Amino acid sequence: MAHSRIFDDIKCSSRGMDYVFNLAFRLPLSLLRTAQNHPMLVELKNGETYNGHLVSCDAWMNIHLRDAICTSRDGDRFLKMPEVYVRGSTIKYLRIPDDVVELVKDEVKEVRRQQKDQQRAKRAMQGGSRGGGQGGRGASRGNRTAPQGGRGRGK
């Protein structure tokens, strides 16, 4: 299955319910911002896991979860916590639902479409660059009888 270009830097499985994003690779913060208010699993380097709803994240990938369940490394202890703050440097990997990944793909497509529209509008404002328009400073250079525009040599 071919993935869009943004997901080439992120290792993701094409089968199964969830995509696993390994933090050894660059994780776009736009993905985490899109995942706000969605459930996610966070596994820490020490083996603990947190299942909860993402409230917020910052540029250092510090994560704030609500209604989280902490599972110990051994899987024998479970703690229900109303809120958890996880430092980004302790995160081993994140598991994010498929629908969030699809939302990010749609957002990326929309942003690219808007950028293309802006580029088209900018080109239209500048006029045609091939043969049309007046060019740089002053009038055209071919017709010397026409009055000179701009600030030339004083002739």
Cβ atoms of residues 84 and 52 within 8 Å:
yes
- pLDDT, residue 38, reads 93
Give the residue, 19 or 103, on which the prediction is more confident.
103
> Residue 9: pLDDT above 50?
no
The mean pLDDT of 2-28, rounded to a whole number, is 43
Spell out the domain ranges in the chain: 5-122
Instruction: Give the architecture (CATH level 2) of 5-122.
Output: Roll (2.30)
**Residue found by looking up tokens 């979860």 in the block:** 65
Count the neighbouring beta carbons within 10 Å of the beta carbon of residue 35. Answer: 22
Element (H, E) at 48: none
Residue 27 above 80 pLDDT? no
Using alpha carbons, select from 89, 2, 101, 105 the residue that is nearest to residue 46: 89
Give the residue-averaged pLDDT of 132-145: 56
Helix segments in the chain, DSSP class H: 29-34, 98-126
pLDDT of residue 76: 93
Q: What is the DSSP string of 17-51?
A: SEEEEETTS---HHHHHHTTTSEEEEEETTS-EEE
Distance CA 53, CA 67 (A): 7
Q: State how far the Cα of 135 lies from the Cα of 58, in Å rounded to an integer.
A: 46
Residues 43, 63 contacting (CB under 8 angstroms): no
pLDDT in tens, 115-126: 999 898 888 888
Which carries the bigger pLDDT value, residue 115 or residue 131?
A: 115
CA-closest candidate to residue 63, choices 49, 47, 73, 77? 49
> How confident is the model over 55-94, as pLDDT tens digits?
999 889 999 999 999 999 999 999 999 999 999 999 999 9
Percent of the chain scoring above 70 in pLDDT: 63
